[in-house]
Structure 1
């Protein structure tokens, strides 16, 4: 039987307990395993991954030696045999009907190039309430129970799919794949300990610019496993700082950046002023937001080669 879906998990030094929860949720999908393939891309884990999955009839684990989430995903995209691809992180627990619903939506609406849904947190420990201010940065979202569709309008839609659980058509990825295959065009994304995270946005923008629609579908639900280490002030400050810097690169490369570029010499003064504006000394939320602003400044001051 031809595979309807290719599920791709790109991972680097994963927490095996969380990864096993991800795999257990895939094992429990209502869509029969003979209708989808499973590809795990090991992005240079140390030691290399050796995961036995005897319950799936078409399972592949491959190594991508070029470090970074973008390269790992590209490896999976090129190996995928199905037209529909589901991008699953190594800490995502899909609802049992996730793949079946994804298949049905994409079959019924051929104009859709990429879709996503709800990403609900499961925290290792109950975090402080202030963490909610940064749900978006932790790839957590619940936009309600109404379907939302987007087309290209020269801006980035706030309701565009996030990388966790994103479903894409392989044919809609053509422009993106062609671009990242060219030297020097890769948007900064997760790589080792680096936390730039705008590769998802780059994928969505290339799909929209190619004339496809994207959509939010509330019936697509996954749980995102969040360890305590990702709810600390230091981690969130570093995450948002590096993510904002890479986000500026995305906006500039797609010519939709609403902010003017700034001079490198102005960075210290801007950061000092922002420290005061955000009252960064007063609480954790304000400090993290200030670090995010500093990342945006760094991105706006960086000269892009394209």
Structure 2
């Protein structure tokens, strides 16, 4: 069936997906409840899925394509950054939003994003609250700082600028096209298949803020985000921190950056050692273990680089 001739969208919504067809199906169906969906286009980027992802998207387009401006794109280069960049190149709107393939946006999500950018011409990017949908019982240790790796975010009920130590998460973020075209996601960072590398979003926001861009939080730009039982284990979160440590090392390409990273890592180890003496709760003890895993990931990556350099 030939695609209808939709007007130019005000918002491009990019959903990158990898082997989560059934969750993606729920996310796509949830879009039908969004207010002012006609103002947006939906771009699903399939990052080499081997399940029935393509069938799910094509079935959705066949059922709703007359009224929903939706596009399917297969991205052969493995990696979340590559998938996001492919979506950016396909996007037609001046505002680009990213939604996870397992996230359910609030009905006012589209309207909130378009309105906020319209009222804030100096704003480069925005994000909002992300509430968890746990597949199984929430572990007792999942508290405080450990919420962030699970993208659990709530900065309150008022619009505000993001603190410098925090950025919007990929499950729920939007940027002006110009900011993204100047700073595409780095291909050496971000998830690749089942490898939990990260840091690509932080890198982009670092570039945006370095050029004076304003990054804001809006309480009505809200999504619910699925957390599978497989991730609610100590093994998963420790591996997540290990990969985060790897990401820190991968980002350091010059000798100066590596020396600075070593200094920060040494200071972090001292802080963790002192903190461990005061850790009493299950959550605080788990956080100590995770932070040590992050350091191990950093050091292993640095050692592997040295071995590769020595080998020629």
Q: When the two structures are superposed, what TM-score results if normalisation uses the length of structure 1?
A: 0.82
1:169 to 176, 181, 184: 176
Find the aligned partners of 2:255 and 2:180 in 1 and give their Cα distance.
20
Q: Is structure 2 residue 289 aligned with structure 1 residue 290?
A: no
State the distance in 2 between where 1:147 and 1:161 align. 13
Partner of 1:109: 120
Matches within 5 A, 1:1-306: 1-14=7-20, 16-31=21-36, 33-47=37-51, 49-50=54-55, 51=57, 52-53=59-60, 54-56=63-65, 57-133=68-144, 134-149=146-161, 157-177=164-184, 186-250=187-251, 252=252, 260-262=260-262, 278=276, 284-298=286-300
Q: Distance in 2 between matches of 1:254 and 1:161?
A: 27
**Are 2:249 and 2:261, in contact at CA under 8 Å, matched by a contact in 1?**
no
Please, what is the CA RMSD of the aligned residues? 3.2
- SS of structure 2 residue aligned to 1:159: coil
Partners in 2 of 1:218 and 1:299 — Cα distance?
38
Gap regions ≥5 residues in structure 1: 151-155
Aligned equivalents of 1:293, 1:203: Cα separation in 2: 23
Q: 1:256 to 1:120 in 2, by over 3 A?
A: farther
Q: Determine which structure has more spread, i.e. the larger CA radius of gyration.
A: 2
Structure 1: how far apart are the matches of 2:304 and 2:207?
22
Q: CA offsets, 1:48-81, max 9 Å, x none?
A: 6222222243211111111000000000000000
Q: Is the 8 A contact 1:278 1:290 kept in 2?
A: no
Cα distance in 1 for partners of 2:166, 2:159 equals: 10
* Unaligned segments of structure 2, at least 5 residues: 1-6, 307-312
**Contact in 2 for aligned 1:260/1:300 (Cα 8 Å):** no
Q: What is the deviation of 1:158?
A: 1.9
Alpha-carbon distance change, 110 to 277 in structure 1, aligned in 2, over 3 angstroms = closer
CA distance in 2, matches of 1:92, 1:256: 39
Could you tell me how far 1:130 is from its partner in structure 2? 1.0
Matches of 2:116 and 2:303, distance apart in 1? 42
The structure that is helix-richer by fraction is 2
Q: How many pairs does the alignment contain?
A: 284
Per-residue CA distance 1:157-203 (angstroms, 9 max, x = gap): 223211111011111112213xx6xxxx5342100110012111122
What is the alpha-carbon distance in structure 2 between the residues aligned to residue 108 and residue 303 of structure 1?
A: 47
| Structure-2-length-normalised TM-score | 0.80
User: CA separation of 1:261/1:289 partners in 2, compared to 1, >3 Å: closer, same or farther?
Assistant: closer
- Distance in 1 between the 2:160 and 2:257 partners? 24
